[in-house]
Amino acid sequence: MSTKRNNPETIAIHGGNYRSDPTTNAVAVPIYRTTSYEFTSTDHAANLFALKEFGNIYTRIMNPTNDALEKRVAALEGGLACLTVSSGQTASTFAILNVAQAGDNIISSTDLYGGTVSLFTHTLSKLGIEIRYADPSDPKNFEKLVDDKTRAFYGETLPNPYLRVFPIKEVSDIGRKYNIPLIMDNTASPVICKPIEHGAAIVIHSLTKYIGGHGTAVAGSIVDSGNFDWTADPNRQPLFNEPDASYGGAIWGKVVPELTGANIPFAVRARVCLLRDLGSALAPDNAFAIIQGLETVALRMKQHCENAQKVVNFLKTHDEVTKVIYSTEHEKTIADRASKYLKGGNGPMVGIELKGGIEAGKKFIESLKMFYHVANIGDARSLAIHPASTTHSQLNEKELAASGVTQSYVRLCIGIEHIDDIIDDLNQALNKSSKPNLKAVV
Ligand code: PLP
Predicted confidence (pLDDT) at residue 279 exceeds the cutoff of 60: yes
In a shared domain, residues 289 and 317: no
- CB crowding 360-386: b at 16 or more within 10 Å, else e: bbbbbbebbebbeeeeebbbbebbbbb
**Whole-prediction pTM value?**
0.96
Q: Which of 293, 319, 339 finishes a domain?
A: 293
Does the beta carbon of 377 sit less than 6 angstroms from any atom of ligand 1?
A: yes
Q: Which of 247, 263, 293 finishes a domain?
A: 293
In a shared domain, residues 270 and 351: no
Among 76-85, 138-147, 153-162, 429-438, which is the least confidently predicted range? 429-438
Q: Is the Cβ–Cβ distance between 303 and 416 less than 8 Å?
A: yes
Residue 131 lies in a domain: yes
Residue 4 lies in a domain: no
Question: pLDDT band at residue 391, thresholds of 50, 70 and 90?
Answer: confident
pLDDT in tens, 347-360: 999 999 999 888 89
Does the beta carbon of 87 sit less than 6 angstroms from any atom of ligand 1?
A: yes
Does the beta carbon of 111 sit less than 6 angstroms from any atom of ligand 1?
A: no
In a shared domain, residues 138 and 233: yes
**Which atom of ligand 1 is nearest the CA belonging to 220?**
15
Domain count, the chain: 2
Among 27-31, 51-55, 296-300, 303-307, which is the least confidently predicted range? 51-55
* pLDDT attached to residue 441: 47
210 phi and psi angles, rounded to 5 deg = -65, -35
CA distances from 9 to 6, 146, 300, 433 (A): 9, 39, 10, 40
Distance CA 286, CA 293 (A): 11
Residue 170 lies in a domain: yes
In a shared domain, residues 402 and 425: yes
Does the beta carbon of 286 sit less than 6 angstroms from any atom of ligand 1?
A: no
In a shared domain, residues 279 and 303: no
Residue 428 lies in a domain: yes
Residue 100 lies in a domain: yes
Predicted confidence (pLDDT) at residue 406 exceeds the cutoff of 90: no
In a shared domain, residues 253 and 277: yes
Question: pLDDT band at residue 438, thresholds of 50, 70 and 90?
Answer: low
**Which atom of ligand 1 is nearest the CA belonging to 188?**
3
Q: Is the peptide bond before 265 cis (omega within 30 degrees of 0)?
A: no
Q: 186, 193, 182: which is closest to 154 by C-alpha? A: 182
Residue 363 lies in a domain: yes
Q: Which of 272, 293, 314 finishes a domain?
A: 293
Residue 442 lies in a domain: no
In a shared domain, residues 27 and 162: yes
Helix (H) or strand (E) holding 205, with range, is strand 202-206
In a shared domain, residues 17 and 137: yes
Reported in sequence order, the residue ranges of 208-309 that DSSP labels E, i.e. its strands, are 220-224
pLDDT in tens, 57-113: 999 999 999 999 999 999 999 999 999 999 999 999 999 999 999 999 999 999 998
Using DSSP's 3-state secondary structure scheme, residue 125 falls into helix
426 phi and psi angles, rounded to 5 deg = -60, -45
Q: Is the Cβ–Cβ distance between 11 and 73 less than 8 Å?
A: no
* pLDDT attached to residue 246: 94
In a shared domain, residues 265 and 321: no
Count how many Cα atoms sit within 13 Å of the Cα of residue 159 in the half-sphere of its side chain. Answer: 27
**Mutation pick for ligand 1 pocket among 206, 210, 222 (CB with most ligand atoms within 8 Å):** 206
Predicted confidence (pLDDT) at residue 288 exceeds the cutoff of 80: yes
In a shared domain, residues 226 and 317: no
In a shared domain, residues 311 and 238: no
Find the CATH number of the domain harbouring 80.
Answer: 3.40.640.10
In a shared domain, residues 105 and 210: yes
Question: What's the gap in Å between 88 CA and the centre of ligand 1?
Answer: 5
Find the CATH number of the domain harbouring 357.
Answer: 3.90.1150.10
Helix (H) or strand (E) holding 204, with range, is strand 202-206
Sheet holding 150-156, edge to edge: 81-85, 220-224, 202-206, 182-185, 150-156, 105-109, 130-134
Q: Report the mean per-residue pLDDT for the chain.
A: 94
Higher pLDDT, residue 434 or 383: 383
* pLDDT attached to residue 387: 85
Contacts by 295-298, CB closer than 8 A, 24 or more apart: 295/12, 295/13, 296/12, 296/213, 297/8, 297/12, 297/76, 297/190, 297/191, 297/210, 297/211, 297/213, 298/8, 298/9, 298/12, 298/191
Does the beta carbon of 179 sit less than 6 angstroms from any atom of ligand 1?
A: no
**Which atom of ligand 1 is nearest the CA belonging to 92?**
10
pLDDT in tens, 160-219: 889 999 999 999 999 999 999 999 999 999 999 999 999 999 999 999 999 999 999 999
Residue 440 lies in a domain: no
**Which atom of ligand 1 is nearest the CA belonging to 207?**
15
Range of the domain at 210: 9-293
